[in-house]
């Protein structure tokens, strides 16, 4: 599943991969289930944009992912937190 600033899914099917795609280098500050196990992951340049692949495929329905974006060039935060709920395959 692809997440972009102009395309912000709020749900992710359990077992799906989540890729955050933005146009400039960024660091994703993220955690699960109410900001537990917080980590920082730097984006990689994939040619068409900068991507962070979040390792959320093992999360089951009822879990959630939270993240914030920090732009690496300026060190500025995007200014909002994002939340995605993990749902079952039949929803």
pLDDT at 90: 54
pLDDT digits (tens, 9 = 90+) for 67-87: 999 999 999 999 999 999 999
pLDDT at 89: 67
pLDDT digits (tens, 9 = 90+) for 50-63: 999 999 999 999 99
| Three-state secondary structure readout of the chain | CEEECCECCCEEECCCCEEEEECCCEEEEEEECCCEEEEEEECEECCCCEEEEECCCCCCCCCEEEEEEEECCCCCEEEEEEEEEEECCCC
pLDDT digits (tens, 9 = 90+) for 15-34: 999 999 999 999 999 999 99
**Average confidence score pLDDT of the chain:** 95
């Amino acid at each position: 599943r692809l997440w972009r600033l102009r395309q912000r899914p709020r749900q992710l099917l359990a077992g799906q991969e989540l890729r955050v795609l933005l146009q400039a280098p960024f660091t994703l500050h993220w955690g699960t289930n109410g900001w537990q196990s917080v980590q920082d992951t730097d984006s990689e340049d994939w040619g068409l944009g900068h991507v962070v692949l979040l390792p959320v495929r093992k999360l089951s329905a009822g879990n959630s992912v939270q993240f914030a974006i920090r732009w690496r060039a300026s060190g500025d935060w995007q200014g909002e937190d994002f939340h995605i709920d993990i749902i079952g395959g039949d929803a």
